[in-house]
């Protein structure tokens, strides 16, 4: 009896794994979950273009076009999200992005985006930090965030 | 070891010269090509160098980060190939050495710096000024090195060719040459073919040479054989010539002796003449009568005959030499005229003939003239017109001696009488045994008185007593003599003898009665009387 239960669990887990793999594979093309760039609700900036995003996330500027300080935020633990974001933004894989920042680490003048561990942390940061600029899945957008850029 | 005029050096020099010519004509081309290549390579290198710093420049332009820009530009200029570089964007400018580059009139290579994240956006431009001097110098150095390498290669090719030529061609040829020197033509010696050359040109040459040596050897042996045959023949001919008993001489037309054998020398020696190279035309000086000899021989030659005859040689000493001469003219192919003269010494034969003649004319028992000789003598005297007295002598008592004491005793008497006759007559008188016990004396006298004197002398000798067989009684031989005068009494020999015979017969009548009247002179008119009597 017990054995049969265990077997069932294994089968279900396997099936789940399969579906999850399926989901993963089909996500970018099939029904990809869209990534959006969000800021604090109270931030005056209404929208940003791709170039503006690049300038902010890649360290060229540290302020929004209206002069207000901007703090770009990376998700440390959700590699998928991060990778999808940078792929969509500059067309480069994460190792290249990491290498870029390693290269600039010693110049001191430019800083990489601030780090938050999870999407939840990011959500929280966005609620508290008015200069925050982050990317989340569209599904994770809350009322406290303002979407300023949407990847097609 | 190496002959500077030899093939190897020649070959090498030609090779080096040819290689140098090729190098000379191609060096410029290669230099150009290398130069172009190096310049292109340098340009390519500049692109490579830019690519290496491109991302840094790109980031610098993006971030407008001067430090990064500096890093990129300094990195570029660090290369020898780059003299100066600059980066320029709206908000960024950095350069190194550009002024110097512009002073040197250097054209920059321009590279567009793109946004690292949006390649479609140009952010800046980087100008790189190549270090043209350095690049050209580099290219020149490399090209020059290449050219030198080519020259050295040509030299090496020449030296290698010399070494190869020496070992493959010259050394075997030298060996062949040396063995050729040691070869004596005509022997069985041959040249060894150098190792590994049995089918090369040198091998063929050696084979051909050996074949030539074969032929030479054949020819040599043939000639040697021929020479031996000729020598053998010559020896025989020489022997024949030298040992011939006949003196043989080959003389020129002028008389110079070209060739003579030892018999000739002996002959000349025998007549006491000195050895000379020339005895006058046709050896005429050797003969007693040179003009006669010449005339005889030339007369024969004119009739195209060889001349032969017996001639007496001139003699300085007492030797009397007669030769049989055979002379024939010889004309060589060149038209030169020679005479071959053969002189056979016939003196002995002549002597023998004379001896024979003597035997015919002399009495073998007594050694004085016999009747035959006497008649000849008479004829000769008469021919010469001599005046003489003919005394016919007959011995008295001779028959008795023969009968009593035998023929030997008779012979003794005859010999004795002959000796006496010879002994007692004068030098120019002749004694002849006319036959049996009859003798004739031919006396050079024209008057009876001198005849009487002469005969008396003879008679005195003959009268000597004989003692035969140890007998005590001596035998005395007397003689009766009849004398006739020539030509006073007759010019005819028979008549003369007849006259003397008649006179002698008359004297014989007296032998007993008047022994002293033993000598009677013939009377010419008594001839008929005598016949009658």
Closest Cα in chain B to A100 = B59
Long-range contacts of B31-34 (CB under 8 A, 24+ apart): B31/B143, B31/B144, B31/B146, B31/B147, B34/B139, B34/B142, B34/B143, B34/B146
Q: In tens digits, what is the pLDDT along chain B, a chain of 533 residues?
A: 567 787 777 877 887 788 788 878 887 888 888 888 888 888 898 999 999 999 899 999 998 888 889 989 999 999 888 999 999 998 889 999 999 989 988 889 999 999 999 889 999 999 999 988 888 888 888 888 888 888 888 888 878 888 888 888 888 888 888 888 888 887 888 888 888 888 888 889 899 999 999 999 999 999 999 999 999 999 998 888 888 888 899 999 888 998 888 888 888 888 888 888 888 888 888 888 888 888 888 888 888 888 888 888 888 887 788 888 898 888 888 888 899 999 988 888 888 888 887 778 888 888 888 888 888 888 888 888 889 999 999 988 888 888 888 888 888 888 888 888 888 888 888 899 988 889 999 898 888 888 888 888 888 888 888 777 777 778 888 889 999 998 888 888 888 889 999 999 988 888 777 778 888 888 876 555 444 33
DSSP state string for B192-254: PPPTT-TTSHHHHHHHHHHHHHHHHHHHHHHHHHHHHHHHHHHHHHHHHHHT-SSEEEEEETT
By the 8 A CB rule, do A61 and A71 touch? Answer: no
- Residue range B104-160, pLDDT digits in tens: 888 899 999 999 998 899 999 999 999 888 888 888 888 888 888 888 888 888 788
Q: Nearest 5°: phi and psi at B465?
A: -75, 145
0.80 surpassed by pTM: no
Percentage of chain B modeled with pLDDT above 90: 16
Q: How far apart are CA B285 and CA B278, in angstroms?
A: 9
> Would you say residue A48 lies in a domain?
yes
Asked if B59 and A92 come within 8 Å (Cβ–Cβ), the reply is no
Asked if A54 and B67 come within 8 Å (Cβ–Cβ), the reply is no
By the 8 A CB rule, do B401 and B477 touch? Answer: yes
Class of domain B362-528: alpha beta
Asked if the C-beta of A106 comes within 8 angstroms of chain B's C-beta atoms, the answer is no
> Would you say residue A108 lies in a domain?
yes
pLDDT at residue A24 is higher than 50: no
The two beta strands, B519-521 and B478-486, are: parallel
**Region for A34 from its dihedrals, namely left if φ exceeds 0, alpha if ψ lies in -120 to 50, beta otherwise:** beta
pLDDT at residue A15 is higher than 60: no
Three-class secondary structure of residue A83 per DSSP: helix
Q: How far apart are CA B402 and CA B411, in angstroms?
A: 8
Three-class secondary structure of residue A66 per DSSP: coil
Name the one residue in this structure whose structure tokens are 């390579």: B41
Three-class secondary structure of residue B483 per DSSP: strand
Range of the structural domain that residue A140 is part of: 35-150
Q: How far apart are CA B436 and CA B446, in angstroms?
A: 28
> Would you say residue A6 lies in a domain?
no
By the 8 A CB rule, do B445 and B390 touch? Answer: no
Asked if B118 and A90 come within 8 Å (Cβ–Cβ), the reply is yes
Please state the length of chain B. 533
Closest Cα in chain A to B61 = A60
Closest Cα in chain A to B62 = A60
Tell me what pLDDT residue B124 has: 93
Residue B118: partners with Cβ closer than 8 Å, 6 or more residues away: A51, A54, A90
> Would you say residue A80 lies in a domain?
yes
Three-class secondary structure of residue B394 per DSSP: strand
| CA nearest to B127, candidates B114, B113, B105, B108 | B108
pLDDT at residue A20 is higher than 50: no
pLDDT at residue A1 is higher than 70: no
Q: How far apart are CA B366 and CA B419, in angstroms?
A: 8
Please state the length of chain A. 152
Asked if B63 and A90 come within 8 Å (Cβ–Cβ), the reply is no
DSSP, res B491: S
Name the one residue in this structure whose structure tokens are 């003692």: B467
Q: How many structural domains is chain A composed of?
A: 1
Tell me what pLDDT residue A31 has: 60
Tell me what pLDDT residue A10 has: 55
Three-class secondary structure of residue A79 per DSSP: helix
By the 8 A CB rule, do B511 and B505 touch? Answer: no
By the 8 A CB rule, do B81 and B135 touch? Answer: yes
Tell me what pLDDT residue A4 has: 53
Tell me what pLDDT residue A21 has: 45
Residue intervals of chain B classified under CATH 3.30.450.20 are 247-350
Q: Closest Cα of chain B to A100: distance in Å?
A: 9
Tell me what pLDDT residue B285 has: 86
DSSP state string for A93-150: -HHHHHHHHHHHTTT-SS-PPEEESSHHHHHHHHHH-TTEEEEEEGGG--TTEEEEEE
Asked if the C-beta of B71 comes within 8 angstroms of chain A's C-beta atoms, the answer is no
Residue A10: partners with Cβ closer than 8 Å, 6 or more residues away: none
Q: How far apart are CA B158 and CA B16, in angstroms?
A: 5
CATH number (domain holding residue A128): 3.40.190.10
In this complex, the residue of B62, B65, B118 whose CB is nearest that of residue A109 is B65
Interface test with A, best of B52, B54, B58, B63 (most A CBs within 10 A): B63
| CA nearest to B271, candidates B228, B320, B307 | B320
- Cis ω for the linkage preceding B487 (within 30 of 0): yes
Higher pLDDT, A53 or B424: A53
Which DSSP helix (H) or strand (E) runs through B85?
strand B82-89
In this complex, the residue of A90, A100, A107 whose CB is nearest that of residue B65 is A107
Q: How far apart are CA B197 and CA B214, in angstroms?
A: 20
> Would you say residue A16 lies in a domain?
no
Asked if the C-beta of B114 comes within 8 angstroms of chain A's C-beta atoms, the answer is no
> Would you say residue A14 lies in a domain?
no
| CA nearest to B73, candidates B129, B114, B131, B134 | B129
Tell me what pLDDT residue B533 has: 36
Q: How far apart are CA B264 and CA B279, in angstroms?
A: 12
- Average pLDDT (A88-98) is 92
* CATH-assigned architecture of domain B7-159: 2-Layer Sandwich (3.30)
Tell me what pLDDT residue B169 has: 83
B140: Cα separation from own chain's centroid: 82
Sign of torsion over alpha carbons A135, A138, A144, A150: positive
**CATH superfamily of domain region B247-350:** PAS domain (3.30.450.20)
């Amino acid at each position: 009896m017990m054995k049969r239960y265990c077997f069932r669990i294994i089968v279900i887990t396997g099936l789940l794994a399969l579906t999850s793999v399926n989901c993963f594979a089909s996500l970018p093309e099939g029904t990809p979950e869209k990534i959006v760039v969000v800021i604090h609700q109270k931030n005056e900036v209404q929208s940003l273009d791709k170039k503006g995003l690049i300038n902010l996330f890649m360290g060229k500027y540290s302020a929004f076009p209206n002069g207000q300080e901007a703090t770009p935020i990376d998700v440390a633990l959700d590699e998928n999200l991060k990778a999808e974001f940078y792929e969509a933004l500059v067309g480069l894989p994460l190792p290249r992005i990491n290498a870029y920042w390693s290269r600039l680490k010693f110049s001191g003048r430019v800083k990489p985006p601030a780090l938050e561990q999870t999407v939840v942390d990011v959500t929280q940061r966005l609620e508290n930090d008015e200069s925050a600029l982050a990317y989340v899945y569209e599904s994770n957008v809350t009322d406290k965030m303002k979407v300023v850029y949407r990847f097609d | 070891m190496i002959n500077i005029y030899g093939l190897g050096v020649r070959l090498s020099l030609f090779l080096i010269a040819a290689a140098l010519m090729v190098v000379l004509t191609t060096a410029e081309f290669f230099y150009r090509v290398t130069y172009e290549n190096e310049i292109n390579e340098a340009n390519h290198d500049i692109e490579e160098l830019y690519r290496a710093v491109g991302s840094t420049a790109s980031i610098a332009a993006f971030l407008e980060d001067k430090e990064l820009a500096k890093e990129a530009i300094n990195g570029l200029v660090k290369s020898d190939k780059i003299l100066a570089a600059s980066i320029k964007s709206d908000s960024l400018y950095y350069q190194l050495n550009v002024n110097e580059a512009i002073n040197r009139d250097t054209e920059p290579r321009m590279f567009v710096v793109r946004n690292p994240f949006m390649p479609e956006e140009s952010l800046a431009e980087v100008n790189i000024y190549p270090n043209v001097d350095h690049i050209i110098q580099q290219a020149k150095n490399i090209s020059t090195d290449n050219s030198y390498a080519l020259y050295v290669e040509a030299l090496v090719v020449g030296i290698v060719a010399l070494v190869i030529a020496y070992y493959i061609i010259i050394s075997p040829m030298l060996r062949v040459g040396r063995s050729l020197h040691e070869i004596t033509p005509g022997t069985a010696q041959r040249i060894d073919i150098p190792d590994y050359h049995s089918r090369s040109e040198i091998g063929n040459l050696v084979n051909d040479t050996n074949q030539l040596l074969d032929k030479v050897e054949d020819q040599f042996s043939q000639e040697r054989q021929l020479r031996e045959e000729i020598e053998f023949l010559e020896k025989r001919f020489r022997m024949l010539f030298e040992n011939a008993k006949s003196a043989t001489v080959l003389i020129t037309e002028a008389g110079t002796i070209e060739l003579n054998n030892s018999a000739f020398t002996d002959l000349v020696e025998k007549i006491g003449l000195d050895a000379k190279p020339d005895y006058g035309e046709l050896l005429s000086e050797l003969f007693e009568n040179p003009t006669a000899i010449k005339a005889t021989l030339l007369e024969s030659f004119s009739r195209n005959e060889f001349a032969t005859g017996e001639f007496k040689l001139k003699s300085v000493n007492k030797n009397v030499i007669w030769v049989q001469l055979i002379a024939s003219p010889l004309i060589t192919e060149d038209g030169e005229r020679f005479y071959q003269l053969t002189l056979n010494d016939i003196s002995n034969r002549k002597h023998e003939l004379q001896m024979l003649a003597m035997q015919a004319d002399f009495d073998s028992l007594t050694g004085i003239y016999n009747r035959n000789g006497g008649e000849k003598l008479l004829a000769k005297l008469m021919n010469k017109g001599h005046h003489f007295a003919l005394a016919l002598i007959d011995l008295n008592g001779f028959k008795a001696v023969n009968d009593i004491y035998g023929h030997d005793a008779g012979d003794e008497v005859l010999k004795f009488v002959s000796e006496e006759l010879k002994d007692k007559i004068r030098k120019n008188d002749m004694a002849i045994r006319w036959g049996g016990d009859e003798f004739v004396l031919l006396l050079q006298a024209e008057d009876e008185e001198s005849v009487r004197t002469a005969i008396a002398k003879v008679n005195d000798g003959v009268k000597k007593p004989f003692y035969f067989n140890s007998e005590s009684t001596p035998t005395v031989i007397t003689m009766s003599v009849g004398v006739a005068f020539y030509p006073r009494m007759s010019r005819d020999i028979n008549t003369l003898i007849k006259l003397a015979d008649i006179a002698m017969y008359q004297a014989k009548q007296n032998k007993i009665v008047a022994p002293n009247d033993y000598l009677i002179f013939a009377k010419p008119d008594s001839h008929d009387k005598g016949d009658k009597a």
